[in-house]
Amino acid sequence: MNLPIQNIKDKLSGLDPVSALKLLANQHPGKIIFSTSFGWEDQVITHMIFKNNLPIKVFTLETGRLFPETYYVWNRTMEMYEKPIHAYYPNNELLQQMVNAKGPSSFYESVDNRKECCGIRKIEPLKRALDGNEIWITGIRAEQSQNRHDMEDVEWDDQNNLTKFHPIFHWSLDDVKEYIKLNNIPYNTLHDRGFPSIGCQPCTRAIQPGEDFRAGRWWWEDQDKKECGLHTA
Ligand code: SF4
């Protein structure tokens, strides 16, 4: 682990998630940002940020292919906390070129096409959102997948040139559910219908009991290719 990361890790050691977020927000004013896709982990962190008026920008990647339930919880969250959630859209020209050449559902045809679509709808807007920031907050938890299990709660992101912090990295799913219930936080009702991980509508399905957390994402592809490139270990 590099030295600056170890320093941040030491400073955050023993702090609860809200205190850790507060400390980072104070030490990186205007350069700390949280990405939400409105899953329940993200809703927990959104609540922590908005309820405590933490100066952390909250943003989402509006791919244009989200579930109606996701738009609903997005709206509900803005109404409830009366705070902005910044939407980053794909580059219009790149999107048009892809859809004009390959149609609206090219991602089912090959892994390359799927990565191209994720690249245009997610990765490029993400880079724009992260640009100029020093700390990226996420709702990743270790138990979500093997790839995520291999991550750390504080880590250096080489691709985006910033530090990532996952405040509820060590929480269990039950911890998340309990916090949501206790604080009456709006959440995506797809979670109640077998969707542990919610992304774009055409690329996400419900899973069966016992199936892996990511089994419902890009289910037509190999198991080990199931990250869209936003978070890699
Ligand atoms: Fe495209 Fe599917 Fe990736 Fe969404 S999840 S950006 S629709 S390939």
Query: Could you tell me if 176 and 213 are in contact, meaning their C-beta atoms sit under 8 angstroms apart?
Result: no
- Residue labelled with tokens 């990295």: 169
How far are the Cα atoms of 48, 102, 231 from residue 158, in angstroms, in the given order?
27, 32, 11
Q: Is 199 in the pocket of ligand 1 (CB under 6 A)?
A: yes
Q: Name the CATH code of domain 3-90+127-203 (choices 3.40.50.2300, 3.40.50.620, 1.10.3720.10, 3.30.200.20).
A: 3.40.50.620
Q: Is 216 in the pocket of ligand 1 (CB under 6 A)?
A: no
Q: Give me the pLDDT at residue 156, please.
A: 95
28-81 tens-digit pLDDT: 999 999 999 999 999 999 999 999 999 999 999 999 999 999 999 999 999 999
Q: Give me the pLDDT at residue 221, please.
A: 85
203 given a catalytic annotation: no
Provide the residue ranges of all domains of the chain, joining segments of one domain with +: 3-90+127-203
Kindly state the tokens that stand for 52. Answer: 């405590």
- Please determine, for residue 134, whether its predicted confidence score (pLDDT) is greater than 80: yes
Q: Give me the pLDDT at residue 209, please.
A: 82
39 CB-near residues (< 8 Å, 6+ apart): 139, 188, 191, 197, 198
Integer Cα distance of 17 and 10 in angstroms: 14
pTM of the model: 0.92
- Please determine, for residue 15, whether its predicted confidence score (pLDDT) is greater than 60: yes
Tell how far the Cα of 131 is from the centroid of ligand 1, in angstroms: 22
Strand partners, 164: 136, 155
- Axis crossing angle, helix 40-51 with helix 173-183, rounded to the nearest 10: 50
206-231 tens-digit pLDDT: 988 888 877 888 888 876 656 656 66
Integer Cα distance of 11 and 20 in angstroms: 8
Tell how far the Cα of 5 is from the centroid of ligand 1, in angstroms: 32
23 CB-near residues (< 8 Å, 6+ apart): 11, 12, 15
161-183 tens-digit pLDDT: 999 999 999 999 999 999 999 99
Minimum CA distance residue for ligand 1 atom 2 = 203
Q: Which of 117, 200, 203, 228 is catalytic?
A: 228
Minimum CA distance residue for ligand 1 atom 6 = 118
Minimum CA distance residue for ligand 1 atom 7 = 200
